[in-house]
């Protein structure tokens, strides 16, 4: 998110000094036939969904599925986007009538689409009351979210609400002016109940295991701490379906904006870059109704868990492994990492030895075939997915993506081979410097604590690992005392610090 905001500010200068017209309803109507655009009258679209966390991902995924449904006549499912962090999205999209361009890239083959399912953008910092008023109207039947794993104020080790989180403490002290996601949803549901309207459905689209179930628990607990009856009401009456969302969407770069402007002939302050592939699996639990997303290709199921675990581990877990090894080695993008002599072989072993065996059967899906498709997606040179972007929030991402799989393998009597290497790479990554000495920023809610541990360890691998293993939010109580896990991590870490990534991976593969 912050990376995108910085680029947006840079783009403001370009736009101020460019003669091109801005993307809008009027200018979109004059675009060439090579560009898809809304196939409906946007003036007839009314809001049915409020989306919180209006970054690139939801605009490449949720908004596109919803647009396809609106185009079939469901004009009461327009999206109002809400950002809780920055005014940048509003500043970019409002002057464009909330239109934006989806740039789909496939190894040099680009396609463009102007998306119009978002009909307004609001910012909680100065429109909180207006947002709550909208969320209390009966027309809003679904609230969707993409706020990243760290946005829900959970304890990563337990999955429970972090009741000592500063945002949770602040919102409990001032509950009608919330800033945290649990606080925001709780207040909106309280106001809606007070107005006499049934609760909206909360649809979480972030990469959390059993995301709906988990966020239901977090929000109910927050509400309970605020008011016991309100907590019970949310626990008993609000639907939080689980969902699995899959579409690789890197942060937008200024070069992407230039590409879109050159192709369209108009300026788009914040286009979205993505891959052609998309998948959405949703538990069908919507008491107040929903768009017919299945008509746009979504898969409606009773239980999303098998699909979710496949994606969370095989895609996101592989992404994390590539990211930490690649950042340390000085490799900028996922597609570049897939041209390395060793990294694709490491990822293949991660899938075959650690992750596929940890998964239950997935209906209608051959998981090994899915990983071969992932391999091709990772090699897509048109999608410049930065390894440093993927490396963010490791303290939140490692447990659900990889550490849970390691636990399950140990419980089944086998041992993970690549996951300890990933953990070691993450520990080495916390130095904030690549092997060539290039500095980078550690983006993590526990960054200060983690980087201080690295500095205090003075490059001693055993001391570093033992200190990081005490961070219970990440490793819990079991993995640090597992002798295989501990010795494997320390051995790989020692090699990474002493010999570097290339030799470590070469030796790993030679001994596999």
Q: What is the pLDDT of residue 312?
A: 95
Q: Structure tokens of 193?
A: 């109940």
CA distances from 147 to 82, 121, 504 (A): 11, 16, 35
CA distance 133 to 179: 16
How does strand 100-106 pair with strand 109-115?
A: antiparallel
Q: What is the pLDDT of residue 108?
A: 85
CA distances from 188 to 140, 154, 159 (A): 11, 20, 23
The DSSP code sequence of 128-150 is HHHHHHHHTSTT--EEEE---GG
360 by Cβ neighbours in 10 Å (0-12 / 13-18 / 19+) ranks as exposed
CA distance 108 to 339: 17
Q: What is the pLDDT of residue 11?
A: 39
Asked if 136 contacts 80 with a C-beta cutoff of 8 angstroms, the reply is no
| Site of tokens 């239980």 | 303
Q: What is the pLDDT of residue 377?
A: 97
- Sign of the torsion formed by the C-alpha atoms of 258, 261, 263 and 265: negative
CA distance 356 to 348: 10
Q: What is the pLDDT of residue 12?
A: 42
| Site of tokens 């008491």 | 287
Identify the helix (H) or strand (E) that includes residue 300. Answer: strand 299-301
Asked if 303 contacts 283 with a C-beta cutoff of 8 angstroms, the reply is yes
Q: What is the pLDDT of residue 153?
A: 96
Tens of pLDDT, residue by residue over 301-318, are: 999 999 999 999 999 999
Q: What is the pLDDT of residue 19?
A: 56
**Segments in the chain below pLDDT 50:** 1-17
pTM of the model: 0.86
């Amino acid at each position: 998110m912050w990376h995108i905001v910085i680029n947006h500010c840079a783009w403001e200068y370009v736009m101020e000094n460019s003669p091109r017209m801005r993307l809008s309803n009027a200018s979109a109507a004059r675009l060439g036939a090579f560009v898809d655009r809304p196939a409906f009258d946007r003036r007839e679209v009314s809001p049915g969904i409020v989306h919180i966390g209006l970054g690139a991902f939801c605009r490449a995924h949720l908004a596109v599925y919803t647009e396809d449904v609106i185009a079939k006549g469901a004009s009461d499912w327009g999206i109002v986007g809400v950002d809780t962090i920055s005014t940048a999205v509003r500043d970019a999209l409002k002057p464009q009538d909330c239109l934006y361009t989806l740039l789909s890239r496939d190894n040099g083959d680009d396609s463009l689409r102007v998306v119009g399912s978002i009909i307004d953008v609001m910012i909680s910092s100065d429109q909180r009351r207006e947002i709550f008023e909208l969320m209390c109207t009966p027309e809003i039947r679904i609230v969707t979210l993409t706020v990243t794993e760290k946005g829900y104020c959970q304890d990563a080790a337990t999955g429970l609400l972090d009741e000592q989180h500063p945002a949770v403490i602040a919102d409990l002290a001032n509950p009608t002016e919330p800033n945290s996601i649990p606080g925001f949803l709780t207040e909106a549901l309280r106001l809606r109940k007070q107005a006499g309207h049934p609760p909206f459905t909360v649809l979480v689209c972030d990469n959390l295991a059993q995301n709906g179930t988990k966020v239901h628990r977090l929000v109910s607990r927050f509400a309970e701490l605020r008011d016991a009856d309100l907590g019970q009401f949310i626990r008993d009456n609000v639907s939080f379906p689980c969902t699995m969302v899959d579409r690789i969407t890197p942060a937008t770069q200024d070069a992407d904006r230039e590409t879109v402007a050159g192709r369209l002939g108009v300026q788009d302050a914040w286009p979205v870059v993505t891959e052609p592939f998309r998948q959405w699996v949703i538990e069908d639990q919507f008491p107040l109704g929903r768009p017919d997303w299945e008509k746009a290709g979504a898969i409606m199921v009773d239980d999303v868990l098998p699909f979710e675990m496949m994606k969370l581990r095989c895609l996101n877990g592989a992404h994390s492994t590539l990211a930490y090894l690649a950042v340390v080695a000085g490799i900028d993008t996922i597609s570049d990492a897939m041209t390395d002599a060793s990294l694709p072989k490491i990822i293949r072993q991660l899938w075959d030895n650690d992750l596929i065996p940890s998964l239950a059967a997935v209906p209608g899906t051959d998981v090994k075939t899915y990983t071969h498709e992932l391999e091709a997606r990772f090699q897509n040179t048109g999608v410049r997915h930065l390894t440093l972007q993927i490396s963010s929030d490791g303290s939140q991402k490692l447990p659900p993506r990889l550490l849970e799989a390691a636990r399950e393998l140990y419980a089944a009597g086998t041992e993970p081979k690549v996951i300890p290497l990933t953990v070691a790479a993450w520990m080495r990554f916390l130095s904030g410097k690549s092997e060539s000495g290039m500095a980078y920023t550690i983006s993590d809610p526990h960054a200060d604590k983690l980087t201080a541990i690295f500095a205090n360890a003075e490059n001693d691998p055993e001391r570093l690992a033992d200190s990081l293993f005490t961070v219970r939010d990440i490793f819990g109580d079991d993995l640090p005392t597992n002798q295989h896990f501990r010795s494997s991590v320390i051995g790989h870490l020692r090699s990474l610090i002493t010999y570097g990534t290339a030799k470590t991976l070469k030796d790993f593969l030679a001994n596999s």
